[in-house]
Amino acid sequence: MNPNLTILTMAEVTDIKGEKGSYTAAVKLSPRYVNENCTGCGDCAKVVEAEFERMADPTGGKLVRPSDGKEAKKVAFIQCAGSRDRNYLLHCSRICCMASLKQCTYVSDAWGKDAEISVYYIDIRAIDRFEDFYAKVQAIPQVKFIKSKPAAVVADKDSNPVVHGVDTEGYKRFADAHDLVVLAIGMEPSVDKNSFPVDIVINREGFIEAAPLNGNDHGGVFAAGCASDALDVNRAVQHATGAALRAIQVGGGATGMTSAIEAAKAGYPVHLVAEEAKLGGVWADLYKRVPFRAAAADVPNGRNVDLPKPENPGIDAMATEIEASAKITVHLSAKITKTSGAPGRFSEGRLIL
């Protein structure tokens, strides 16, 4: 653990005083569990997003319907419930699809062949390595995917939730009864601009923009992780790293390049320092070490053959953006030998290798 890093969970910033390089923040810590001080106000019951996770907890959770305790063997997952919708949330939260796919396995593992799992979706957004997990869930016999954004969920005479909608692959109407319906609700901004202790700039979704004006006239206030956008864990960590490494960015790899670009977009001058002779770090050449072969179907004689190495569009695109930015100064074959100052007013010494 970094000795200079303190993590406060279940926390909310209630006041900020000072100026760039010398801020003091007041933080409110919320309770993590119920003790003898509980007043029974009911506020804890408002946090419901993780309810299904608790129900499926392998240490003692049971997949039953909360209303009457009926075993939930026939379960529906409705994706984008209120998301990607002009009437509610405009954005995609990125994490919902993978969360629902994971929870499909909970139902399958709990009930085996007796499980019936339906996933109603607009698109399944399983990126990069998550595509393999998506394929694994698709292969579960008890899971079926219905391309649809359901119009309504109503209870039948037996109190079972019935999902109504149209399957857009064939345009067939359906009214499917289930034991339980799980809504994949979107990630909403947790910061209220009007109640935040200093001025911040937000986008149309309500997330904090990267802007020099954040923090009144002094600046120096940065959004990190999910305060800036609806992000999964990987992107949140990467973005938080960028927020923490403003002004002098050490390292010319993918994370360093991303951090430099984010800082420049926010209007801050950046010095990007890399020991290597070019940007990209290990990722710049890693793809060259992986065998690249054509599929057998693409080769007349049915054999795989070596093909020219592909370009690395992600790293190349970031390098081009950095080179074009007037806010970013790149120092290659260099390293930091000394720093002085404080957050918001650092200076650096530079050694060319």
Per the CB < 8 A criterion, the answer to whether 160 and 174 are in contact is no
Does residue 148 have a pLDDT over 80? yes
**pLDDT score, position 30:** 76
Domain-wise residue ranges, the chain: 47-185, 196-352
Per the CB < 8 A criterion, the answer to whether 337 and 353 are in contact is no
Q: Residue-wise over 242-265: b if at least 16 C-beta within 10 A, else e?
A: bbebbbbbbbbbbbbbbbbbbbbe
Does residue 155 have a pLDDT over 50? yes
**Domain 196-352 CATH assignment equals 3.50.50:** yes
pLDDT category of residue 79 using cuts at 50, 70 and 90: very high
Pull the structure tokens for residue 277.
Answer: 């002779």
Does residue 69 have a pLDDT over 60? yes
Task: Tell me the mean pLDDT in the region 73-98.
Answer: 89
**How distant, in Å, are the alpha carbons of 71, 131, 210, 239 from that of 313?**
49, 20, 25, 20
Q: Do domains 47-185 and 196-352 have the same CATH topology?
A: yes
- pLDDT tens digits, residue range 280-317? 765 566 555 444 444 444 445 544 445 454 555 567 88
Q: In CATH, what number does 47-185 get?
A: 3.50.50.60
**pLDDT score, position 299:** 46
pLDDT category of residue 353 using cuts at 50, 70 and 90: very low
Per the CB < 8 A criterion, the answer to whether 334 and 273 are in contact is yes
- pLDDT tens digits, residue range 225-253? 778 888 877 777 777 766 666 655 556 77
Handedness of CA 282, 250, 235, 88 (dihedral sign): negative
DSSP string, 111-150: HGGG-EEEEEES-----TTHHHHHHHHHT-TTEEEEE---
